[in-house]
Amino acid sequence: MVYFSSVLYKFDKGGYLPLSFAAGLFFVMYVWHYVQIKRYAFEVENKVSTKYLLTLGTDLGITRVPGIGLLYTELTQGIPSIFSHFLSNLPAIHSVPTDERFVLRRVGPKDYKMYRCIVRYGYRDRRVGSEEFEDLLMEHLRSFIRSENWMESLEEENIREK
């Protein structure tokens, strides 16, 4: 309202130009907002059920390729309709190699012994049970700590040699 009143105050001295720019931007943003609301409503109405995906089975002729496939959606629950289109029209589904499944990073100083772990799975990768998952996680964490300690010892040796 302050902007609008200041433009109206200077309207006869050229204030119509910023007013027309503001009106144009308002129109563009209004259309964008309207389309986003309609798109979200479409995604909510046309989401795919899990039962439907399970009925597709393995007879789609899909092969696995290395890498990660991402589909962005704003749905908080359910599977977006584009996913079934993706499955039926793309003859490959991404799988994550076992050695790249766990991504570990240290959080804070070494004394804290805190780590951040990201576990990545492809669409059709087999999920393991909780005990097996814990064993795999601990194995990767041990390996990460060993490699981190090994790198630190190499750095210390290089510093001593210099």
Report the domain count for the chain: 3
Confidence (pLDDT) at 36: 93
Looking at the fold, whether 162 and 119 belong to one and the same domain comes out as: yes
Range with the lowest mean pLDDT among 44-48, 77-81, 100-104, 157-161?
77-81
Looking at the fold, whether 87 and 67 belong to one and the same domain comes out as: yes
Tokens 């503001």 -> residue: 22
pLDDT tens for residues 126-140?
A: 767 778 888 888 899
Indicate left, alpha or beta for 10 from its phi (over 0: left) and psi (-120 to 50: alpha): alpha
pTM of the predicted structure, to 2 decimals: 0.43
Looking at the fold, whether 113 and 158 belong to one and the same domain comes out as: yes
Confidence (pLDDT) at 57: 57
Looking at the fold, whether 89 and 118 belong to one and the same domain comes out as: no
Q: Which range of residues forms the domain containing residue 72?
A: 48-95
The secondary structure element, H or E, covering residue 147 is helix 130-161
**Exposure letters 89-106 (e unless 16+ CB within 10 A, then b):** eeeebbbbeeeebbebee
Confidence (pLDDT) at 54: 65
Give 119's strand partners. 102
Looking at the fold, whether 86 and 113 belong to one and the same domain comes out as: no
Looking at the fold, whether 6 and 35 belong to one and the same domain comes out as: yes
